[in-house]
Structure 1
Amino acid sequence: MSGGGVPGIRRIGSGPPGLNLFSSVTVHGETVYIAGQVADDRREDVRGQTRQVLGKIEERLREGGTDKAHLLQVMIWLKDIGEVGVMNEEYDQWLAGIEGRPVRATVQAEMVDPSIRVEIMATAARPSRAKVIETEEAAAAVGPYNQGIRTADGLIFASGCIGLDPKTGEFAGESVEEQTHQVLRNLWAILKAGGAAEPSDIIKTTILLDDIGDFAKVNAIYQNFFGSGRVPARATFSAKALPKGAKVEIEAIAQARDDAP
C-alpha cells in the first residue's frame, strides 16, 4: 500500500481482513510506526499470545526496514495486569542480547474481543544512531525498558513515568496531586537529559489515570507545568490498573534542540 501521494510517508499492509481501517506499518522519515498487534490463535494463554504478538511485531519491523534493536517505544495493553510478570518474561527473552531497551508503558484495559489477553503497539527508528537516555534525576524504570530514547533526528521518547521518588523508589505521596507533581519532575528530568530545553519542546503526551474522576486535579497541575507556553498534543484516558498501584502515569515525545548533545 502506498502513502497515498503524501511525500515522505509509506504505508504497508492493512488491518483485519475485510476492514481497511488502518495500515499495519507506516514509515515517515526515519521512524517506523507499528499498529497494535494481537495473537491470531487466541486459545493460548498470555504467554503464548505474547510470543505470537512479538513475532508479528518482528515481522512488521522487517517490513518497515528495521528491527527490534532499533525499537524506540512500546505500548502494551493487558486484559489482566496480574499477568504482567509472565508477559515480561517473554518480552525480556525476546529482547535478550539487545542493550538498548525501548521506552515502554503497560496498562490493563478492556479488549475489543474478550479472547485477547495482550495487544502491543510499537515505534522504531530505521537503522541509524539512537541514544539511550539515563538519568538519576528521574525514578528508575520498573520493568525491562529504558527511561528514554533519542533518535538521530532529535526526537525524544520518554517512557511512561509514575510518581516514584528517584531517591527512595517509593511514591512521593498517596494523593494524586503529590504523584502528578513527581511524575512531571521525573518526565522532565528524562526529556532534559535527552536534549529538551523547555516544556514547549514537548510534542505529545499521553496521560493514564487510575480514576478518571481525578482528571481536573491532574489537569490543573499539568497546565501549571506548561504555564503560558505552547502545550503539546495530548490523549488522556482511564486505565483499569497502573504499575505499582500508581494513580497517574504520563509518557511523552519531545523534540531536542538542534544544539543539544
Structure 2
Amino acid sequence: MSIRRLRTEARYSEIVIHNGTVYLAGQLDEHHSAGIEAQTRETLASIDRMLAEAGTDKTRILSVTIFLKDMATDFAGMNAVWDSWVPKGAAPARATVEAKLYSPDVLVEMTVIAALP
C-alpha cells in the first residue's frame, strides 16, 4: 500500500493518506489571538480545508482528539462551536483532554482521522 504525504515539512506532514484513511496533523487557528469560540471556528475551518484537499469531508471523520488549554474555561465554548459544525448523524468518536500547548495563546488544537469516500 502506498502512503501519500501532503504539505510535508521537515518535521511532519499536514496530511497523510494510507489505505483509504486520512490522518491530519494537529490543526489550530494560525493567529491564535482570539477567544475559544473564534479559535475553534478557525480550527474547524482548517480541518474542512485539509479534508477537502485530501478528497474527503467532515461527514467521513472517524475520530477526533481535541486538546484544550483549560477544560474549565474553554470546554463549553469549544463545544458550542463544535456542536454547530458536526453534521447531524455523523458525529465521530472523540476525546477531549487538557494539555499544555506549544504557545500560551493557543487555546485549542485538534487531530483528525477520516475515511476517504
Correspondence for 1:81 among 63, 67, 71:
71
1:48 is aligned to 2:34: no
Residue of 5, 15, 28 corresponding to 1:11: 5
Q: Give the equivalent residue in structure 1 for 2:55.
A: 65
Letter in 1 for 2:84: Q
Bigger strand fraction: 2
Deviation at 1:59, TM superposition (A): 0.6
Query: Unpaired segments of 5 or more residues in structure 2?
Result: none
1:14 maps to amino acid: T
Deviation at 1:43, TM superposition (A): 1.1
Q: 1:40: Cα distance to partner?
A: 1.1
After TM superposition, list the pairs within 5 Å mapping 1:102-251 onto structure 2.
Answer: 102-127=92-117
Give the structure, 1 or 2, with the largest relative contact order (CA under 8 Å, sep 6 or more): 2
Deviation at 1:64, TM superposition (A): 1.0
Question: Of the candidates 58, 61, 81, which is equivalent to residue 90 of structure 1?
Answer: 81
TM-score scaled by structure 2?
Answer: 0.94
Tell me by how many angstroms 1:99 deviates: 0.9
- How far residue 41 of structure 1 moved from its aligned partner, in angstroms, is 1.6
Match of 1:13, as an amino acid? R
Q: Partner letter of residue 122 of structure 1?
A: V
1 CA distance for matches of 2:49 and 2:102? 23
Alpha-carbon distance between aligned partners in 2 of 1:32 and 1:81, rounded to the nearest angstrom: 27
Q: What do residues 185-216 of structure 1 show as CA deviations (whole Å, max 9, x unaligned)?
A: xxxxxxxxxxxxxxxxxxxxxxxxxxxxxxxx
Gaps of 5+ in 1: 1-6, 128-261
Whole-Å separation in 2 of the counterparts to 1:26 and 1:42: 25
* Whole-angstrom distance in 1 between the partners of 2:94 and 2:2: 26
Which amino acid in structure 2 is aligned with residue 58 of structure 1? D
**What SS is found at the alignment partner of 1:21?**
coil
Helix, strand or coil: the match of 1:13?
strand
How many percent identity over aligned positions? 38
Across the aligned residues of Structure 1 and Structure 2, the Cα RMSD in angstroms comes to: 1.1
Secondary structure in structure 2 of the residue aligned to 1:111 = coil
Cα distance in structure 1, aligned partners of 2:38 and 2:24: 20
Once residues 48 and 28 of structure 1 are traced to their aligned partners in structure 2, the CA distance between those partners, rounded to angstroms, is 32
Q: What is the DSSP-based 3-state SS (H/G/I as helix, E as strand, rest coil) of the residue aligned with 2:41?
A: helix
- The answer on whether the counterparts of 1:76 and 1:119 sit within 8 Å (CA) in structure 2 is yes
Decide whether the 8 Å contact of 1:69 with 1:98 is kept in 2: no
Q: Alignment length, in residue pairs?
A: 116
What TM-score results when the alignment is normalised by the length of structure 1?
Answer: 0.43
Q: Deviations over 1:234-257 (max 9, x none)?
A: xxxxxxxxxxxxxxxxxxxxxxxx
* Larger CA Rg, structure 1 vs 2: 1
